[in-house]
Amino acid sequence: MVVFDKPHALADVPMHYCPGCTHGIVHRLVAEVIDELGIEGKTIGIAPVGCSVMAYDYFNCDMIEAAHGRAPAVATGVKRSDPENHIVFTYQGDGDLASIGMAETVHAAARNENITVIFINNAIYGMTGGQMAPTSLPGQVTQTSPYGRDVSLCGYPIRVCEMLSQLEGPEYLERVTVNSVKAVKNAKKAIKKAFMNQVEGKGFSLVEVLSSCPTNWGLTPQKALKWIDEKMIPYYPLGVYKDRSAKEETK
């Protein structure tokens, strides 16, 4: 039997997430990276409003709860208060980051704030019952779009990485997923790079993680993972959307 040690930065408590939700996987990846970089004592996480509102219960580093959508603004204040001794990350869902918090996200990126953003995109409002989110796909059935998202009425989904990549400010933007072993490994690599960029003072890094929401999608956990492959990835292609360091190394 294979036994996996729990990262020290991950609290030894039961999580409240629904069966099949991939928040728990991403929490572990973040905690593993914090452990591997040896930064737990100086790391401060900013929790959002949404399904991961209680992220402060799941990490052993210091945590702050932000008002809905304001995590990047709070992170900016925390980081600037002691930039040499604070490693600051936000952990946000699509409703928090891409809806009410869009202004905070865009301007933190434009300023190239030296923070790390972990963005969970499950294409729906999870905590409040499954309403249509800014990232819900065209034709996607939700509680507020029972006949499918009509782009003529509601517009098109927001592709956050593509949008932010048009700004001069951001250091690093990548979209990953966690619906397979290989994908989880790639996601960890991206998350570690995003934290390393902050440690090295390079600036704003955002990792978007395509995640499952079996409960509100009305799917089994297994089918939800397939739905990511079949529906989400075609609309939200995986990959690096900006990496200033890579460009400099190429030059």
* Helix (H) or strand (E) run with residue 153 in it: helix 151-154
Instruction: Tell me the per-residue pLDDT of 187-241, one tens digit each, with 9 for 90 and over.
Output: 999 999 999 999 999 999 999 999 999 999 999 999 999 999 999 999 999 999 9
Domains annotated for the chain, with CATH where assigned, are 23-250 (3.40.50.970)
pLDDT in tens, 29-50: 999 999 999 999 999 999 999 9
- In which residue are the tokens 């400099």 written? 248
Whether residue 72 contacts residue 101, with contact meaning beta carbons closer than 8 Å, is answered with yes
Rounded CA gap, 177 and 228, in Å?
Answer: 8
* Rounded-to-integer distance, Cα 107 and Cα 55, Å: 24
Find how far residue 194's CA is from the centre of its chain.
Answer: 11
pLDDT at 123: 97
pTM for the whole structure = 0.96
Please give the Cα distance from 237 to 229 (Å, whole number).
10
Cβ count within 10 A of residue 237 = 12
Tell which residue, 100, 230, 98, 238, has the closest CA to residue 164.
Answer: 98
Report the pLDDT averaged over residues 141-166.
97
Instruction: Say yes or no to pLDDT of 67 above 80.
Output: yes
Separation of alpha carbons 55 and 59, rounded Å: 7
Question: Average model confidence (pLDDT) for the chain?
Answer: 96
Residue 251's pLDDT band, with cuts at 50, 70 and 90, is low
Q: Is the pLDDT of residue 7 over 60?
A: yes
